[in-house]
Structures are given as structure tokens and as C-alpha cells.
Structure 1
Amino acid sequence: MPGDVILDGVSILVGGTLLLTPGFITDTLGFLLLAPPTRKFFKALMLKLFRNWIDKGTIKVIR
């Protein structure tokens, strides 16, 4: 599973990209992804999504 720091990096990257995209909804989502208290919620969603992908075999983990 991706580590906590990697999920933080993905959240910050996507949040910054959403802030560059014009629009009220994208700005709101971008700020929510950049704020640490709300980032915890989105990290839990991303972790659940990654687990589903791994369980279904959509993503293969090579060690």
C-alpha cells in the first residue's frame, strides 16, 4: 500500500493542479486537498481506492 507521505504528495500535487484550473468548484477542491485537516479524509478515500484496485487486479504490485 502507498505510504502516508506518498498520499500527502499526491494530494498536494492534485490540489495544486486544481487551483491552476479555472473555476469555483476546482478551486474549492484544490484548497480542501491542500489543507491538512481535510486532507486526512481524502487520503482515506485514496487508500480505499488503491485497495480496491489491488484486490481487483487492476494494479499489480511488484516487489
Structure 2
Amino acid sequence: MGFDDKIKNTAEDLGGKAKEAAGKVTGNERLEAEGQADQVKADVKQAGEKAKDAFK
């Protein structure tokens, strides 16, 4: 996994957590759902990168 990819995935995960928290605080279900989706997307990307590394 490239270092840049790790940083991007971590940033996306943290951004998703922030969106989810903001959505919970404000009662905005859409924002909360977007945050959760961003976290899932980051997790999938990280898993894909780890799989690539395993085959190297």
C-alpha cells in the first residue's frame, strides 16, 4: 500500500467520522448517512490496497 494511499484513506475515514458526528449533533440524517458511507468507502479501499500488497 502506498503511503499516499494510506493518508488519503485515513483522511476519508476521518472526514466520514466528522460528517457522521455533525449529522448526529444537528439531527441531519442525510449528513450522518454520508459520513457512514465515506467510512465504508475508505475501509473498502484500505482492504483493496492490503490485498494488492499481499500479492506483491
Q: Give TM-score scaled by structure 2 length.
A: 0.43
Higher relative contact order (CA 8 A, sep 6+): 2
Q: Give TM-score scaled by structure 1 length.
A: 0.40
